[in-house]
Structure 1
């Protein structure tokens, strides 16, 4: 029977030196097992064994008090092999110490055997990198980069050094708590990506425990504030705002922002747009799968305002090659923040992406004769059921052109050459008929 008890372990204090300052304290349980208390109060288990005739101290793990485990009838740590656990109760420390003593007496290296067991389960960081390498082939460039960067920023600081098989709901909650309400959209993505890593680890046999229950995660985090959609400018305010922007110097960033609004495109599609995708005569922007979210080609019909903007940006036809909106580095597109900066300089709080929502609201209220499906197709959204998609052979380009022409005249009459922002409903009906 050991000398220590759970109460003694819980109440043990650091030692005190001659100068009155705290020092290490070591309490023996017997048979080589000791409780080490550092000056900071941190506690760990140490085993002293004889290896090749020499005494050797082996760290077993940090101290876990039995009463701190509130798992009820089911302890998720039970599925983790003893040698892999880095937090041990007194009973577990005794069991682990006994196993390592037997290995030492048998002539084996107990440290090597301990670490051999630990290496079977990688850390969260190692599992994250392995998951990224194995899964990235099915992702787009943006998703691939965001997967690693978001986890490195918001999951690795708390979970990175933990064995992937030992991570539970409480650990994930601690990692997400700092950003759960401050950055709700990112927090939800990080939660999902942590789940991807753990699911990958389970599939590889690195984790035997079930994945953390979503209900546990929800109960451990506060309710997020409503309004998670992208902030959008009311469509009635856009013409005045665009007029003020057109009056300013037409730099690359401002031109890219205006083109994004005029085409109702995603900013990443605009930033990666090249002159080779543009046909000014046909007034079309033929976008390849590589820059599309859905990874399918899509044609945007360019209104007069968008065409005029491109001509103003690059009046010399010989210069119309490569990226339309190049960044500061040669051959590299603008950053996403370059477009957002235009809004911030104008002291606006909306997002660039929110203008797609503004376009959709405008189409619903001001172009009621145009079917909703047309506006969705203009936004490059997938429309209809699988059956409907199978029978829909047309991309409704003529109807989309009428819609986008109306949008251009509404938000930028000065670029469209109309001089006002009134959309002719009769003209729209004739174009869509």
Structure 2
């Protein structure tokens, strides 16, 4: 069967082959199909009868095998099958060039690169394989790699770099899956059995070090009280805390994303972890931070530019600030502080805070029916968070030069948000 809306008897065109994006199988005729994977990668598949049995034969990925060549291969294999031969056996006898692991990894990276929203992730994907897998697997033909080979690649880093090792294991598996789909190897993926030969890693600590929410106002006061160079970095840090945003979202923020009149920051899907646009209501204090940042920014398109004005601040700016302040936490941990504050000092529905953090709705049924993003309720929540940060401090604790806002009294636990 072809993909949705595709008639099996209608041949594909080169334009259609390039433009098809919906996952599925699209018929070209005479048993030849273009398979579009959920990842966006495309490959050719020939379905034919070989010696009385139906067989599916991979003809390679679209990046390596264009439409015309796929048709030629399919025709040649059908002729072999019609004459009673085995196309797969003929292919092996023809000594088709099998790529090495290093070559296969580069091919997979090139095919998937367009589907990755984060260029940094795309670069890290291939870099980890070049660094940790290629010294052991790189020169080996992809069809000759077995579980012991994968074990030798992972063993040196399995305990010393556990998180990196797990990522390398997953990426090796992706390359080997591609090789099977492309017809370069058969059988089970060697990665599936490698865990039996590896020692147990220590317990994972998935939590980012965070301040108790009761200590965050004092931290913000200290941050505001610092004078001297680096003000743009301190403003970015306070903006991160006020918005409960992720580091990358703040550092790469652009003025084109800020609607000052509506007090709204719209982070595009391409920069969000979940791949969905996220609207952030801006509190009064967040607006003050942005006003000061614009004064310091010198007309840069970036809200928090680095020294050149053309590139954002380094992702080390928050870490260095924390080190100078001798606070053993992470910038990301302030999201946890915010979440704890929302849970323990308000009685608002859980999903309001979750949406403020741009977390996906875990319940699939609920996610399917929820269309809004609770913006009005989240706006009130962020104003209360800002007020809490500003007014929980006593006059004695507040630095003399700390900015003040026009917020009211500190928020108390309440019955909910209207």
Query: Which of the five TM-score ranges fits, normalised by the shorter chain?
Result: 0.5 to 0.7
What corresponds to 1:324 in structure 2?
303
Gap change, CA 1:177 and 1:328, over 3 Å in 2: farther
1:122 aligned onto 2:102: no
What corresponds to 1:71 in structure 2?
none
Give the unaligned 5+ runs of structure 2.
1-93, 392-401
> Shift of the alpha carbon at 1:253?
2.6
In 1, the alpha carbon distance for the partners of 2:240 and 2:371 equals 27
In 2, the alpha carbon distance for the partners of 1:416 and 1:176 equals 54
Please point out which of 210, 213, 230 is paired with 1:232: 210
Structure 2 counterparts to residues 384-423 of structure 1, below 5 A: 384-413=362-391, 417=405, 422-423=410-411
> Shift of the alpha carbon at 1:133?
0.7
Structure 2 counterparts to residues 255-266 of structure 1, below 5 A: 255-266=235-246
1:350 aligned onto 2:338: no
Contact 1:285 1:301 survives alignment (8 Å): yes
What corresponds to 2:254 in structure 1?
274
In 1, the alpha carbon distance for the partners of 2:404 and 2:133 equals 48
- Range 188-197 or range 166-175, more displaced: 166-175
- Give the 3-state SS of the residue equivalent to 2:330 in structure 1: coil
What corresponds to 1:206 in structure 2?
184
In 1, the alpha carbon distance for the partners of 2:166 and 2:403 equals 40
Contact 2:217 2:389 survives alignment (8 Å): yes
- Give the 3-state SS of the residue equivalent to 2:204 in structure 1: coil
- Give the 3-state SS of the residue equivalent to 2:211 in structure 1: coil
- Range 235-244 or range 210-219, more displaced: 210-219
- Give the 3-state SS of the residue equivalent to 2:253 in structure 1: coil
Deviations for 1:334-364, whole angstroms, at most 9, x for unmatched residues? Answer: 3322332222332333222222222212211
Please point out which of 287, 290, 293 is paired with 1:313: 293
- Give the 3-state SS of the residue equivalent to 1:286 in structure 2: strand
In 2, the alpha carbon distance for the partners of 1:420 and 1:218 equals 60
Contact 2:172 2:191 survives alignment (8 Å): no
> Shift of the alpha carbon at 1:274?
0.7
Aligned residues: 312
> Shift of the alpha carbon at 1:393?
2.9
- Range 343-352 or range 186-195, more displaced: 343-352
Structural RMSD (CA): 2.7
- Give the 3-state SS of the residue equivalent to 2:316 in structure 1: helix
Contact 1:176 1:191 survives alignment (8 Å): yes
1:161 aligned onto 2:139: yes
What corresponds to 2:121 in structure 1?
143
Give the unaligned 5+ runs of structure 1.
1-115
Deviations for 1:367-423, whole angstroms, at most 9, x for unmatched residues? Answer: 2x2111111111112215343233323211111112211222223445562699932
1:291 aligned onto 2:287: no
TM superposition score normalised by structure 2: 0.67
- Range 122-131 or range 241-250, more displaced: 241-250
Contact 1:123 1:163 survives alignment (8 Å): yes
What corresponds to 1:425 in structure 2?
413
In 2, the alpha carbon distance for the partners of 1:254 and 1:406 equals 21
In 2, the alpha carbon distance for the partners of 1:396 and 1:267 equals 23
In 1, the alpha carbon distance for the partners of 2:139 and 2:307 equals 38
> Shift of the alpha carbon at 1:172?
2.6
Please point out which of 143, 151, 158 is paired with 1:173: 151
In 1, the alpha carbon distance for the partners of 2:158 and 2:242 equals 34
Contact 1:308 1:416 survives alignment (8 Å): no
Gap change, CA 1:410 and 1:421, over 3 Å in 2: farther
Please point out which of 132, 148, 153 is paired with 2:109: 132
- Give the 3-state SS of the residue equivalent to 1:182 in structure 2: coil
In 1, the alpha carbon distance for the partners of 2:144 and 2:109 equals 20
Gap change, CA 1:184 and 1:262, over 3 Å in 2: farther
1:360 aligned onto 2:348: no
What corresponds to 2:316 in structure 1?
337
In 1, the alpha carbon distance for the partners of 2:193 and 2:207 equals 23
What corresponds to 1:84 in structure 2?
none
In 2, the alpha carbon distance for the partners of 1:305 and 1:182 equals 44
In 2, the alpha carbon distance for the partners of 1:282 and 1:239 equals 26
In 2, the alpha carbon distance for the partners of 1:195 and 1:416 equals 54
Deviations for 1:303-328, whole angstroms, at most 9, x for unmatched residues? Answer: 22222222222337x95551111234
Structure 2 counterparts to residues 237-252 of structure 1, below 5 A: 237-249=215-227, 250-252=230-232
